[in-house]
Structure 1
Amino acid sequence: MSLNIKPLADRVLIEPAAAEETTASGIIIPDTAKEKPQRGTVVAVGPGKKDEPTQLSVGDTVLYGKYSGTELSVEGKDYLMMRESDILAIV
């Protein structure tokens, strides 16, 4: 994948995981009731700040806060741009 977005400083670009379509018991969830995913894959990473290098790398699967990041749409795909500090864990 060739994405022409290069995050600056401690920012990372994340491709959110798809929202769940059905529950564990097989009930189909309508679009209006789906929760925003809180898991995604790192697509691009900034160089970090002067005294704090970035700890993430492209391809990492991460968990982030429910209302974290700025939503972007590039070439029909949705992404989130957020600070590395908004990421809770690497899965």
Structure 2
Amino acid sequence: MKLVPLADRVVLKQLEAEETTKSGIILTSSAQEKPQEAEIVAVGPGGVIDGKEVKMHVEVGQKVIYSRYAGSEVKLDGQEYIVVRQNDILAIVED
């Protein structure tokens, strides 16, 4: 199956949470903070939303930082995804 977002929505695959701190302390799964960094796996077409033209500024494969409580979590074929609006994406992470 494949997720195809509509309008200004973007499908994100969350990156793995850090299992150790920078000082070497191992974190249990309950103590790990939900990461806000994800990879884009699908992008909607944009279009007219609430009477305004919305152009998509992100592409599949980019790594992004998104708002902590944004979007809807979806599970498909055993994989977890987050569907967010483009304006919930705060930044693109460049190497």
Q: TM-score per shorter chain, which class? A: over 0.9
Unaligned runs of 5+ residues in structure 2 are none
Of 77-86 and 45-54, the range deviating more from structure 2 = 45-54
* Structure number with higher strand proportion: 2
Task: Provide runs of 4+ in structure 1 moved above 6 Å.
Answer: none
Listed as ranges, the matches of 1:1-91 within 5 Å are 4-50=2-48, 51-91=53-93
Identity %: 47
TM-score (norm 2): 0.89
Unaligned runs of 5+ residues in structure 1 are none
Deviations along 1:21-57, whole A, 9 cap, x unmatched?
Answer: 0011111100111111100000000000232221111
Aligned length: 89
- How far apart in 1 are the matches of 2:85 and 2:47? 11
- How far apart in 2 are the matches of 1:11 and 1:39? 17
Three-state SS of the structure 2 residue aligned to 1:31 is coil
In structure 1, what residue type is equivalent to 2:33?
A: E
Instruction: Provide the alpha-carbon RMSD of the alignment.
Output: 0.9
